[in-house]
């Protein structure tokens, strides 16, 4: 194997550049004097003893008390399996921490405060809905109005529908051609995200528009969901 490729693999397994070069030199020669290790590895003489001692502490190298002293590398399987096990343990710990972070931030999301935002319907509604829909982790259902004709919002919904369940009802007069949209008569702008977050708009027909992002509002959310289920099941 090419020296630089092997050194890069050692580094990926957690060794420093100097440790990797010394280990490669010893694995090639099996046993040699400190001066030979320095010349073969390219590690400066001022550092070679420190690096070799580090590998001794890792139990990868053994010092032979001959005259002059020589150094022998341990079995290659032992060295590489040990490095790989340590890396696997590190990855497992990272995976555990990532799962904890997911649960932590899901909890933080569930604690979001209810907010009511006054916006410009034509300029801001589609952008704000895109931001909220992009956070969905399981499901988006609801009733859409003119905002569903917005191309950016449609692209967001297409992307999100690849990972979560999306079912929307749009007014028949709207130009919306999406697989997850059914055409039904209604006069609402209301969406339920992940069964908990209710996004509802007020002020249809006005430029100034109120958008409510409501959490843990079970009675209102269930009313919207019940009406949605009834319309969605109609032929």
Q: Is the CB of residue 73 less than 8 Å from the CB of residue 19?
A: no
Same domain, 137 and 71: no
Same domain, 70 and 128: no
Same domain, 62 and 120: no
How remote is the C-alpha of 216 from its chain's centroid? 27
Instruction: For residue 118, give both structure tokens.
Output: 């006054």
Beta strands 115-120 and 139-144, pairing class = unpaired
**Location of structure tokens 């990868």:** 60
Specify the pTM: 0.51
Q: For every one of its 235 residues, what pLDDT tens digit does the chain have, with 9 covering 90 and above?
A: 788 899 999 999 999 999 999 999 999 888 889 999 999 999 999 999 999 999 999 999 998 876 778 899 998 999 999 999 999 999 999 998 888 887 666 645 544 566 777 877 777 888 989 999 998 999 999 999 888 999 999 999 999 999 999 999 998 888 888 899 999 998 888 999 998 889 998 775 556 678 888 887 888 889 999 999 999 998 7
Same domain, 120 and 227: yes
The CATH number linked to 59 is: 1.10.10.10
DSSP state of 136: -
* Domain contains 105: no
To 10 degrees, the CA torsion angle through 151, 152, 156, 161? 0
Same domain, 116 and 228: yes
* Domain contains 133: yes
| Domain extent for 118 | 112-233
* Domain contains 101: no
Burial class of 17 by CB neighbour count within 10 A (0 to 12, 13 to 18, 19+): middle
Same domain, 71 and 170: no
Q: Output the furthest CA–CA distance in the chain (Å, rounded).
A: 94
Same domain, 58 and 8: yes
Beta strands 208-215 and 197-202, pairing class = antiparallel
The CATH number linked to 180 is: 3.30.870.10
Same domain, 75 and 116: no
């Amino acid at each position: 194997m090419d020296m630089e490729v092997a050194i890069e693999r050692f580094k990926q397994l957690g060794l420093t550049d100097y440790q990797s070069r010394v280990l490669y030199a010893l694995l090639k020669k099996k046993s040699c004097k400190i001066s030979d290790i320095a010349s073969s590895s390219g590690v400066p003489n001022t550092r070679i003893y420190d690096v070799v001692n580090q590998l001794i502490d890792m139990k990868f190298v053994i010092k032979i008390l001959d005259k002059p002293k020589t150094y022998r590398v341990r079995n290659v399987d032992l060295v590489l399996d040990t490095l790989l096990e340590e890396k696997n343990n590190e990855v497992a710990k990272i995976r555990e921490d990532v799962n904890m972070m997911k649960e932590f931030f899901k909890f933080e999301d569930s604690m979001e405060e209810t907010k009511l935002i006054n916006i410009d319907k034509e300029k801001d509604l589609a952008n704000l809905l895109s931001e909220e829909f992009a956070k969905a982790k399981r499901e988006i259902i609801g009733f859409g109005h003119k905002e569903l004709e917005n191309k950016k919002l449609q692209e967001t919904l297409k992307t999100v529908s690849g990972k979560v369940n999306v079912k929307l009802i749009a007014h028949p007069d709207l130009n919306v051609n999406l697989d997850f949209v059914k055409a039904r008569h209604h006069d609402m702008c209301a969406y339920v995200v992940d069964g908990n977050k209710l996004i509802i708009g007020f002020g249809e027909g006005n430029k100034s528009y109120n958008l409510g992002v409501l959490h843990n509002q079970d009675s209102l959310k269930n009313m919207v969901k019940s009406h949605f289920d009834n319309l969605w099941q109609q032929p």
